């Protein structure tokens, strides 16, 4: 298995632009997680899905952030409009079940908003 796949690996955009990050979880995994990592705040959980359904989005910073999982093999995290403070590395992870199970992380997308 190729593991969790994320694209793009790097994204540089200007403030106000829409940004879409993509994730393909490991086949057969039922849960998908979106994280944001910064030097100041470390790793933060933004939202997680179980069986394609958003379970908890309390970590999403504000309405500019939205996430979808239209099927078991694909998820997107969208920021519109983007701001410089959104600059971070965004990770997607998947796990076979839900809480209390090992999560497999993707390589991350490094987002820079100018």
Partner 1 sequence: GESVGLHLPTLSVQEGDNSIINCAYSNSASDYFIWYKQESGKGPQFIIDIRSNMDKRQGQRVTVLLNKTVKHLSLQIAATQPGDSAVYFCACEESGGGADGLTFGKGTHLIIQP
Best CA proximity match to 77, nearest among 32, 26, 12: 32
Nearer to partner 1, 92 or 113 (CB): 92
CB of 79 to partner 1, least distance (A): 18
Using CB under 8 A as the criterion, which residues of the chain lie in contact with partner 1 when the complex forms? 4, 42-48, 55-59, 91, 93, 99-100, 102-108
**CB 1 → partner 1: shortest distance, Å?**
15
Based on CB atoms, which residue is closest to partner 1, 4 or 32?
A: 4
Residue with Cβ nearer partner 1 (65 or 91): 91
């Amino acid at each position: 298995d190729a593991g969790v796949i994320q694209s793009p690996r790097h994204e540089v955009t200007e403030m106000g632009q829409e940004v879409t990050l993509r994730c393909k979880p490991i086949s057969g995994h039922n849960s998908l997680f979106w994280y944001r990592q910064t030097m100041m705040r470390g790793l933060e959980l933004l939202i997680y899905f179980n069986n394609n359904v958003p379970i908890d989005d309390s970590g999403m910073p504000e309405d500019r952030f939205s996430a979808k999982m239209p099927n078991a093999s694909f998820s997107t995290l969208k920021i519109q409009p983007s701001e410089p403070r959104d600059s971070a590395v965004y990770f997607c992870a998947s796990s076979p079940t839900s809480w209390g199970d090992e999560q497999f992380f993707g390589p991350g997308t490094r987002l820079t908003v100018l």
